[in-house]
């Protein structure tokens, strides 16, 4: 009887642990044939190869409304993308929140919306199915216009550090 109780206790603890574990998604955004614009995709591919337990990794060549289908049902989402800021140094990366992207133009067109607008729309339309945590890793880039599957050297050098940052942050959950 004691063994059955221990087995029941262990099973109960495991079930509760599973319920507490966050359902996490990492999305690498970008165009892999426009040089540094593909940095988010490159990071996602490395993370996917690592097969991190309880973390799904996806690639997205667009941004905006296409992102909504991916993030529904997740508790936490990390979006990795290229960014260009005034005076920014290529290879530098930043952890950002949704509000930091409200005035960006990347991913926006007359026919689409930027990431922050898409997430806000999702919260209005699918509130409880949207992630409770969304963060961004934005990597400062140099070249997003030349057709190339290669990253510039400064941006390529930052990729391992970005991957380590994401793994470290995910381990805290």
| Tens-place pLDDT, residues 20-55 | 568 999 999 999 999 999 999 999 999 999 999 999
Tens-place pLDDT, residues 94-151: 999 877 766 655 554 444 667 777 888 888 999 889 999 999 999 999 999 999 999 9
Q: When comparing pLDDT for 11 and 117, which is higher?
A: 117
| CATH label, 23-171, candidates 2.40.30.10, 3.40.50.1450, 1.10.150.120, 2.60.40.10 | 3.40.50.1450
Q: Give the start-to-end residue ranges of the domains of the chain.
A: 23-171
DSSP the chain: -HHHHHHHHHHHHHHHHHHHS--EEEEEES-TTBGGGGHHHHHHHHHHHHT-TTEEEEEESS-THHHHHHHTT-SEEEEEEEE--TTPPTT-EEEE-GGGGTT--TT--TT---HHHHHHHHHHHHGGGS-SEEEEEEEE-S-SSS-BSSPPHHHHHHHHHHHHHHHHHHHT-
């Amino acid at each position: 009887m004691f063994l059955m109780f221990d087995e029941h206790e262990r099973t109960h603890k495991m079930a509760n642990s599973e319920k507490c574990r966050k359902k996490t998604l990492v999305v690498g955004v970008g165009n892999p044939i426009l040089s540094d614009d593909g940095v988010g995709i490159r990071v996602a591919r490395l993370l996917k190869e690592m097969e991190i337990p309880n973390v799904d990794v996806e690639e997205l060549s667009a941004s905006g409304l296409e992102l909504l289908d991916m993030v529904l049902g997740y508790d936490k989402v990390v979006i990795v993308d290229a960014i260009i800021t005034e005076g920014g140094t290529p290879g530098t990366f930043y952890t950002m929140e949704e509000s930091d992207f409200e005035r960006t133009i990347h991913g926006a067109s007359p026919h689409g919306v930027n990431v922050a607008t898409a997430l806000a729309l999702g919260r209005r339309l699918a509130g409880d199915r949207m992630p409770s945590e969304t963060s961004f890793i934005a990597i400062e880039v140099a070249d997003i216009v030349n057709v190339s599957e290669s990253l510039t050297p400064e941006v390529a050098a930052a990729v391992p550090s970005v991957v380590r940052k994401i793994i470290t942050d995910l381990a805290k959950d």
